[in-house]
Amino acid sequence: MVTLICTSNKNKSREFKSFFSGNFEVYCLDDVSRLNLYPYSSPEEDSNSFIVNGIAKLLATLSYIYKNKNAWDLKFNKIVVDDSGLLVPDLGYIPGVHSAIFSGLPRSDDRNNKLLISKINESHLGKKYGESDKRLKAFYSCFLFTMNIPTDLEKIKFIHEIDFSKSSQLVNSDHIHDKFLPLIEKSLLEKTDLDKIQGYFFERVKMMNLSHKFPDNLFIDLHYGYCCGEVSTKEVIPQNGIYFGYDSIFYSNANTSMPFSMFTLDEKNKTSHRAIAMKKLKETI
């Protein structure tokens, strides 16, 4: 099974490759970029929906594969797209879908963490574990979108006609209708149990329901994984370790005494939102 993971994020690439090592041939965008004739163009993720942003990236990747179908010896069987974020219910579910750019562009984990810490401090809610450790309940969500690539790529030739520059423009256009998408996302997020360590749900979306142009046997499998805990005003940055995003202020229910930034990659691959989603995805491949 030759799989293309649609990410250029080196930290995410490391997690995916570590998890899928063994019988899976896994490539990320950086691995194949030197081989292509047509570069990958990532949509601006300006939608307020994880699912809309994810499907926009998935279709942009499908278009990328179609345009480069004669440039590679690689024959991809499956696309995997990740869209994830941190949500703090007591703060209106921020930073949510905009987790990566919470403090604006260019992206900065440091600025994002400082902004969220200031929001926690301003809140009259939460628990105090010490002078510098005020916490609110939070959860990481991971939406993994997977699609089997048609063996006959000419069946999705129309894909190159779609404008992927902004994910918000993709839906309710001549190409994609989002009648079902907000309902699916709302349902999944509402099922999140904040008292659990992690959880998982699955949905299958028939592409023909989004556009009649797609073959009737083409589906998007949506693997929703989450892990719960607390976000803190106390940031822990280790001298060594693999961490990113809000890991330095997120304390998982699995271990409330230390943040994700102190977890080893192996520990994180057992506990995180992406880990549970990847585990279930791996079982289906």
When pLDDT is averaged across residues 216-241 and rounded to a whole number, the result is 91
pLDDT in tens, 192-205: 999 999 999 999 98
Q: Could you tell me the two tokens for 202?
A: 């699955």
pLDDT of residue 174: 63
* β-pairing verdict for 127-128 and 78-88: unpaired
Whole-number Cα distances in Å, 212 to 167, 171, 187: 19, 14, 25
Whole-number Cα distances in Å, 113 to 90, 101, 207, 239: 17, 11, 37, 17
Query: Is pLDDT at 178 greater than 70 in this prediction?
Result: no
pLDDT in tens, 21-80: 777 788 898 888 888 878 888 888 888 889 989 988 998 999 899 988 888 888 888 999
Query: Is pLDDT at 170 greater than 80 in this prediction?
Result: no
The label of the residue with tokens 């690439």 reads: 13
Say if CB 5 and CB 80 are below 8 A apart: yes
Query: Is pLDDT at 270 greater than 70 in this prediction?
Result: yes
| H runs (alpha helix) in 68-131 | 109-122
When pLDDT is averaged across residues 80-93 and rounded to a whole number, the result is 94
The better pLDDT of the pair 256, 72 is held by: 256
For the chain, what percent of residues have pLDDT higher than 70? Answer: 95
| Bridge partner list, 95 | 87
Q: How many CB atoms lie within 10 A of CB 229?
A: 23
* β-pairing verdict for 94-95 and 250-252: unpaired
pLDDT of residue 175: 61
pLDDT of residue 192: 95
The better pLDDT of the pair 176, 141 is held by: 141
Say if CB 231 and CB 120 are below 8 A apart: yes
When pLDDT is averaged across residues 175-197 and rounded to a whole number, the result is 84
pLDDT of residue 173: 62
Single out the residue of 130, 143, 123 nearest to residue 51, CA to CA: 143
| H runs (alpha helix) in 149-250 | 167-170, 181-190, 207-210
> To the nearest 10°, the Cα dihedral for 116, 121, 123, 129?
110
> To the nearest 10°, the Cα dihedral for 66, 60, 245, 16?
-30
Q: Could you tell me the two tokens for 283?
A: 């079982």
CA 251, CA 259: separation in Å to the nearest integer? 4
CA 143, CA 202: separation in Å to the nearest integer? 10
Query: Is pLDDT at 96 greater than 70 in this prediction?
Result: yes
CA atoms within 13 A on the CB side of 231: 28
CA 131, CA 142: separation in Å to the nearest integer? 32
CA 133, CA 251: separation in Å to the nearest integer? 11
The better pLDDT of the pair 179, 148 is held by: 148
pLDDT in tens, 106-136: 999 999 999 999 999 999 888 888 888 999 9
pLDDT of residue 10: 81
The better pLDDT of the pair 224, 52 is held by: 224
Lowest mean pLDDT among 3-7, 209-213, 241-245: 241-245
pLDDT of residue 195: 96
At how many degrees (to 10) do helices 181-190 and 50-67 cross? Answer: 120
